[in-house]
Chains A and B, each alone.
Chain A
Amino acid sequence: MRLSTRKLLDRSFTGVGLFSILLMGLALLFILGPIFSKGVGALVFRQTVEHRRFLLDKLQRGSPKNLADEVRQVQEARQPVYADIAALDDKITSGPRAERRQYRQYQEPLNELKKLVRELLGPLPGESVPLITTEQYGQTRWDRAEKKAQQILFIEEYDYSDPTKMGVRILKPRVEQFRGTPVEPLFDYLNQHLEEMLRPRWTFYAGFLFDMPFDSYMLGGIWPSILGTFYLTLGAMLLAAPLGIVAAVYFVEYGDENFLSSQLFSLIPRGKSTPESSDSLRDRAFKIAVQAERNMVSMLRICVSTLAGVPSIVFGLFGLAFLIQTIHLSETKSVLAGSATLALLILPTIIRASEEAIRSVPHSYREAAVGLGAGKWRTIWTVILPAALPGILTGTIISMGRAAGETAPIIFTAAVSLGTPLSPLQALSQPTPALPWSIYVLSTEHAALDQIRHVQYGMVFVLILLVLGLNFTAILLRARIARKLRG
């Protein structure tokens, strides 16, 4: 091959590699970008006066005096809206008979309008206070308020007249329904004075993270979920890492070297007289034992590999059937049972990575330690494991992210939709909400999904941050250890 061809090949190979890395980076950006920007929206947004009222009423946050002023101004701005509605209501219900009949047709549209206004601004004057927290207040977020206002201004309809096409969205001004009624000016007024009615203000709402959930996450509050995920991940690591590392040590240091059979047969004295007369019965038995042990070790290896391929929901069911129902690790679902299930799930990854790491420790370290008189255990503990630590950490990092993000294994073993933040001790016996599970529940079972999209994005955002944070810490740790080892 000519030199120029070789160079060209070499360059194009480098180019392809670089391109693929770039592509991956872009894809990551493409995925993470929207999640991050929308997720941040759960924390940083324009809060309306309704949000401030909620915070003061329910959580005693903010200044009562300022808010009272604000509420007075807001009420002033809202007065015309309420007045218009009341006027039409009056005509329908208590006007002269002829008028009542004339206005009866407005009953339905007015009820619809009232419902929407209630959703936008909270209960109308004179109405009783609803039981559900969210219904006691209007829109707490400006972006949602604007959408709601659009719904008031326009009726959304779909035109299905052409069967060959998707329905075409048509926006009809709602004002058309109220021509000639006292409500007619309401729409223009609402359009122009929405800000005065809700007084949006940029805010950083830390309560999204650190509060308890209100009304099925309508107002954020994901602290129990964050704590739950933290406990589950930590618990899984604490259970899986030592087990996995010990298993890896066995596979590498003992499994390959007929440890069990050698130990067994070292108890039986060897005939040492001459090389030729080595007692053949002992040798034959030893060979059989070695073969049996080899088979066992390779079986174990296959088991570990298989375990890595088992669908995670199966682990969940196993956790329920074995950990909870058979050995009664806890009475019901609990963080402990969930952690144990997750630990089983990530065990193969940790074993594999640790095995590789231990295997790659130079043999010369072993020789040096043994040559100085260290026993096997001492060698592993003081030389091999420290040298393999960066590699072991890598496997641990990967599995940590997996444990934090898994939903299926905790469905039956640990997760509940709503719960209180647990103390570490309570975590042994009590279930907890967890981020992946909460995200799943919100997206499948929530009554008003479009109302809490931001909460979902916020949760995803926090979950990703949590995993990235954990990974970052571990990566820093690994880099520090690796630097120390390299010298």
Chain B
Amino acid sequence: MQATLEQPIAMQAPVSYRVDASSAASVRSESTGKAVIAAENFFIYYGTHAAVREVTIQIPPGKVTAIIGPSGCGKSTFLRAINRMNDLIPSCHTAGLLSLDGVDIYAPRLDVVSLRQRVGMVFQKPNPFPKSIFDNIAYGPRLFGVRNRRVLQEIVEKSLRRAALWDEVKDRLDANALGFSGGQQQRLCIARALAVNPEVLLMDEPASALDPRSTARIEDLIGELRGAYTIVIVTHNMQQAARVSDHTAFFYEGELVEFGATRKLFTKPEKKATEDYITGRFG
């Protein structure tokens, strides 16, 4: 781990993970949340098919940005490109520039591990590991070399509190995560992502597999996390986008059609396609 962190172009890991125990106790309570994600003429290909085309966008830091659009419009692909989850797909490659705080995310010598530490991800279906709650949350910190049990406990508690899950699970930290409800599991996944102190949180339809009550809790949670993290959320649910986001991007057929303040985009869209979509004429 140490070796990769010291690579010249490596993204800087937060101080707390490079120094151990004593200083890790003072994990900064507020994430700076000031990372700017910027795409410039950005393409994503599956083989020869361009799933995302010519996207140029500046996602404002510390805000919640929603990405909407019909199925297959490339919004999830774009989201997953931000922490290079698409690397898992062999045929996938990119062109153009996608940067985090001015550093090219797809630079060949970039340390993907520290990128993913800065850019956390929450998936559509809750996917806790088949381990205890504690081990789930501690997985990330352990990856970055935190071994001290006491420090881990602090991180676990802090993360669970942030994800509004602490009161429900504090007595059952050793219980297997798969034994909890879907909504709890999803909040656990959010807590797990928060445990490594990311600056950006990517959410890929985080509530689509949940019932309305759990969905509401997740939305409340996003509201609470606003400001502390740059949040990008992909959603099919336009009411949800309207409720939780500050800015909204509308993707259609792999292209960014419109991007702007949520209130404006939903009330006075500039493009015809956007209007058609949000009024339910297609998609």
* Interface hub of A275, A362, A373, A485 (most chain B Cβ within 10 A): A373
Q: Are A387 and B130 in contact (CB under 8 A)?
A: yes
**Alpha-carbon distance between A272 and B143 when the two chains are bound, in angstroms:** 32
B90 in contact with A378 (CB, 8 Å): no
Q: Which residue of A lies closest to B108 (CB)?
A: A269
Interface string of A252-269 (1 = CB under 8 A from B): 000001100010000001
Count of A interface residues, CB-CB < 8 Å: 30
The answer to whether A309 has its CB under 8 Å from any CB of chain B is no
A356-383 with Cβ < 8 A to chain B: 362, 364-375, 378, 382-383
A169 interface hit (Cβ, 8 Å)? no
The answer to whether B189 touches A368 (Cβ under 8 A) is yes
Given contacts A275-B50, A275-B95, A485-B176, contact A371 B125 (CB under 8 A): no
Whether A486 and B176, one on each chain, are in contact in the complex, defined by CB atoms closer than 8 angstroms, is: yes
In the complex, which residue of chain A has the Cβ closest to the Cβ of B107? Answer: A272
Tell me which residues across on chain A come within 8 A of B93, comparing CB atoms.
Answer: 270
CB of A484 closer than 8 Å to a CB of B = yes
By the criterion CB–CB under 8 Å, are A369 and B129 in contact? yes
| B123 and A375 contacting across the interface, CB-CB below 8 Å | no
Report A-chain residues with C-beta under 8 Å of the C-beta of B123.
Answer: 364, 367-368, 371
Residue numbers in B under 8 Å from A382 (CB-CB): 139
A378: B residues at CB distance < 8 A = 143
| Contact partner, B193, options A274, A371, A487, Cβ 8 Å | A371
Q: How far is the CB of B59 from chain A (nearest CB, A)?
A: 18
Determine whether B128 belongs to the interface, using a CB cutoff of 8 Å to chain A. yes
Measured in the bound complex, the distance between the Cα atoms of B87 and A378 in whole Å is 16
> Does chain A have a CB within 8 A of B63?
no
Contacts of B85 in A (CB 8 A): 367, 370-371
A111 and B192 CA atoms in complex are apart in Å by 91
Given contacts A365-B127, A369-B129, A371-B116, contact A487 B143 (CB under 8 A): no
B114 at the interface (CB under 8 A from A): yes
B72 CB within 8 Å of chain A: no
Q: Return chain A residues, CB-CB under 8 Å to B112.
A: 373
Closest A residue, CB atoms, query B88: A370
The docked-state distance in angstroms from the alpha carbon of A372 to that of B128 is 12
**Identity of the chain A residue whose Cβ is nearest the Cβ of B180 in the assembled complex:** A487
- Given the complex of chains A and B, what is the CA–CA distance between A258 and B89 in angstroms? 11
Give chain B nearest CB distance to A389 CB in angstroms: 10
Give CA–CA (A201, B243) in the complex, Å.
89
CA distance A307 to B110 in the complex (A): 43
Residue-by-residue, is B47-89 near A (CB-CB < 8 Å gives 1, otherwise 0)? 0001000000000000000000000000000000001010110
Known: A275-B45, A373-B113, A485-B176. A364 touches B139 (CB 8 A): no
Size of the chain B interface, CB-CB below 8 angstroms: 40
**CB nearest neighbor in B for A262:** B90
Closest chain B residue to A483, Cβ basis: B176
B177 interface residue per 8 A CB criterion: yes
CA A362 to CA B126, docked complex, whole Å = 12
Q: How far apart are the CA atoms of A387 and B127 in the complex, in Å?
A: 13
Question: Could you tell me the distance in whole angstroms from the C-beta of A21 to the nearest C-beta in chain B?
Answer: 30
Task: Give the residues from 381 to 398 in chain A that come closer than 8 angstroms, CB to CB, to chain B.
Answer: 382-383, 386-387
Q: How distant is A105 from chain B, measured CB to nearest CB, in Å? A: 87
B260 within 8 A of A: no
Q: Are A487 and B130 in contact (CB under 8 A)?
A: yes
For A362, the chain B residues whose CB sits under 8 A away are 127
Chain B residue, CB-CB nearest to A261: B90
Residues of A within 8 Å of B121, CB to CB, are 367, 371
B116 and A373 contact, CB distance less than 8 A: yes
> Which residue of chain B is the closest to A290 with respect to CB atoms?
B90
**Cβ-defined contact, B128 with A368, below 8 A:** yes
Do residues A487 and B179 form an inter-chain contact, with CB atoms below 8 A? Answer: yes
- How distant is A371 from chain B, measured CB to nearest CB, in Å? 4
Q: Does B152 contact A (CB under 8 A)?
A: no
Q: Tell me the bound Cα distance from A370 to B113 in angstroms.
A: 9
Q: CA separation between A484 and B128, bound complex, in Å? A: 14
Q: How far is the CB of A385 from chain B (nearest CB, A)?
A: 12
- Alpha-carbon gap, A386 to B129, bound state (A): 10
Given contacts A274-B95, A365-B127, contact A372 B139 (CB under 8 A): yes
User: A residues within 8 A CB of B180?
Assistant: 487
* 8 Å CB contact of A272 from B95, B113, B196: B95
Q: At the interface, yes or no: B144 with Cβ under 8 Å from chain A? A: yes
**Cα distance A362–B128 when bound, in Å?**
11
Closest 8 A-B residue pairs measured CB to CB?
Answer: A487-B176, A364-B127, A487-B179, A487-B178, A373-B116, A371-B121, A485-B130, A275-B95
